[in-house]
Amino acid sequence: MKQKAVPGSPFQMGRGLSIAVLILALCLVTCARPDETWSRVSETGILRVGMDASFPPFEYIAADGDVAGFDVDLARELGRRLGLEVQFVANLPYDGLYDALAVQRVDVVISALVVNPARMADFAYSASYFDAGQVLVLRTGEDGDAEAEAEIEGMMDLSGHTLAVEFGTQGDLEARKWARRLPDLTVVPCQTTGDAVAMVAAGEADGALVDHVSALAATGKDDRLIVVGEAVVGAPYAVAMRRESQRLLQAINRALAEMERDGTMKALRAKWLEGR
């Protein structure tokens, strides 16, 4: 015989909860803002990419008048994987990139743009495709072995060592913080990032704390130099779009993950950042 539900019984409460969850789910689906950007790019087959083409090697105007650089190749590869033609809007000032997104002049921004948490109420960011923050550069052993890397794996291992930095940079500020934690750490300020890395190459400093772009350029020219560990101070670059462009965001994140897995991203870094 079927049991009658008693008011307030676990059966009735559980049923009521299930109905409430179902109503909430339906509300979220029906009330969610549609991804107009995805609808438009799917219909037109065109992805409009905004950038400030004045920041080589990520984006710049080449001698032939066309745009070139890491971000340009990245955008074209994303377009290829999404089955979209990429149309560049490359004459935007850096401080106007978000405005171009807001007024729908462009669909995405790919322009060495650092993720800004203060902007997340209105804009969405893809997974980071490059971290331009401060990294630790060391010198390998004379025979090219990883002797230095084995001894120093991060900032915590720099006690009793010498660290070169470019004076006044984020690396300089971070190194001074570490010097207060590690009394035996000696920080040597240099005029340029190149000077700081050159000290490491010459054996005059045990390491250098410099931006990732400069570090990769240096290691690309000198096989004795290596980048150790993750970024000490992060500055993640990502693709930006309007907050409601969630389907486009998902598609771009899938493509970026594929590019990381199949070596495409590594090849882009080697071409544009390491000069290989």
Check whether 119 has a pLDDT greater than 50: yes
More confident residue, 32 or 2: 32
Query: Cα separation of 144 and 151, whole Å?
Result: 15
Average pLDDT, the chain: 88
> How many whole angstroms separate alpha carbon 210 and alpha carbon 179?
16
- Predicted confidence (pLDDT) at residue 23 exceeds the cutoff of 50: no
Q: Specify the 3-state DSSP secondary structure of 8.
A: coil
3-state secondary structure 96-109: HHHHHHHCCCCCEE
Confidence label for 142 from pLDDT (cuts 50, 70 and 90)? low
- Using a pLDDT cut of 90, give the percent of the chain over it: 78
pLDDT of residue 47: 98
Q: Which two three-digit tokens encode residue 39?
A: 């609808």
> Using DSSP, how many helices (H) and how many strands (E) does the chain show?
10, 15
Of the listed ranges 25-29, 154-158, 235-239, the least confidently predicted one is: 25-29
What pLDDT, on the 0 to 100 scale, is given for residue 8?
A: 52
Residue 21, pLDDT > 70, answer no
